[in-house]
Amino acid sequence: MSLLPIHLLGSPVLRERATEIGDVDDEVRDLVRDLFDTMHADSGIGLAANQVGTARRVAVVHTDEESPVVLIDPVILERDGKTRGEEGCLSIPDIFADVDRSQRVVVETTTLDGERMQFEATDLLARAIQHEIDHLDGILFLDHLSPLKRRMLQQKWRRLRKGQEGYLKHISTPSEIHSRF
């Protein structure tokens, strides 16, 4: 397994619109596996390829309640309802805010076998999927906040990052996992 460095707020790749995948090959399947490994190692529930420095339309989501979801060239076909809930982002550690999202979405995606399929998601899963698809369009959850709230959190971010260089966070496997086996 490979744990990939995560790009942090300020890294230009987070603002890129990721390019379509089209045919699923082994390179894409490897990327999906690395995204899951990196997300789980960093205790996340979603991770998009932009966040590991690859602007391609691939993301993964895994909430506690639901099976893992692979998103390849995902498109939201339907949205219903509105719900507000707290979000964070592995690319913006220690920053959290309430974000409005659709409560239910119908998503079309390509599977690891290269087939297009549709599924419905609600609540936290729907929220995580919308957050990850935003990443593929270069959009961060901060962009959904009021200008005032956004400025406040950007200031907090600069304080937290003071004295640290670069935009990469290196993930290591938690030591408890080694000691357990």
Based on the shown chain and the rule CB under 5 A, indicate whether residue 31 belongs to the binding site for Ni ion.
no
Based on the shown chain and the rule CB under 5 A, indicate whether residue 128 belongs to the binding site for Ni ion.
no
Nearer to Ni ion, 28 or 89 (CB): 89
The alpha carbon dihedral of 153, 158, 164, 167 has a sign of: positive
Based on the shown chain and the rule CB under 5 A, indicate whether residue 105 belongs to the binding site for Ni ion.
no
C-beta of residue 131 within 8 angstroms of C-beta of residue 125: no
CA distances from 162 to 2, 27, 149, 166, 179 (A): 29, 36, 20, 11, 34
C-beta of residue 133 within 8 angstroms of C-beta of residue 76: yes
Based on the shown chain and the rule CB under 5 A, indicate whether residue 18 belongs to the binding site for Ni ion.
no
**Within positions 62 to 101, which residues make up the interface with Ni ion, using CB under 5 A?**
89
Residue 18, both tokens: 């990721």
Is 16 annotated in the active site?
no
* CA 26 and chain centroid, separation: 21
**DSSP character string of 155-177:** HHHHHHHTT--SSEE-----HHH
Tell the smallest beta-carbon distance from residue 172 to Ni ion (Å): 20
Residue nearest Ni ion, CB atom distance: 89
Based on the shown chain and the rule CB under 5 A, indicate whether residue 35 belongs to the binding site for Ni ion.
no
Nearer to Ni ion, 73 or 132 (CB): 132
Which entry of 16, 65, 66, 132 is annotated as an active-site residue? 132
Tell the smallest beta-carbon distance from residue 100 to Ni ion (Å): 16
Task: State phi, psi for 58 to the nearest 5 degrees.
Answer: -135, 135
Task: Give CA–CA dist 28/43, Å, rounded.
Answer: 22
Based on the shown chain and the rule CB under 5 A, indicate whether residue 39 belongs to the binding site for Ni ion.
no
Nearer to Ni ion, 89 or 126 (CB): 89
How many residues belong to the site for Ni ion (CB under 5 A)?
A: 1
Based on the shown chain and the rule CB under 5 A, indicate whether residue 49 belongs to the binding site for Ni ion.
no
Residue with structure tokens 């000691």? 179
Based on the shown chain and the rule CB under 5 A, indicate whether residue 133 belongs to the binding site for Ni ion.
no
Nearer to Ni ion, 31 or 89 (CB): 89
Catalytic residue positions, numbered = 132
Residues forming contacts to Ni ion in the complex (CB under 5 A) are 89
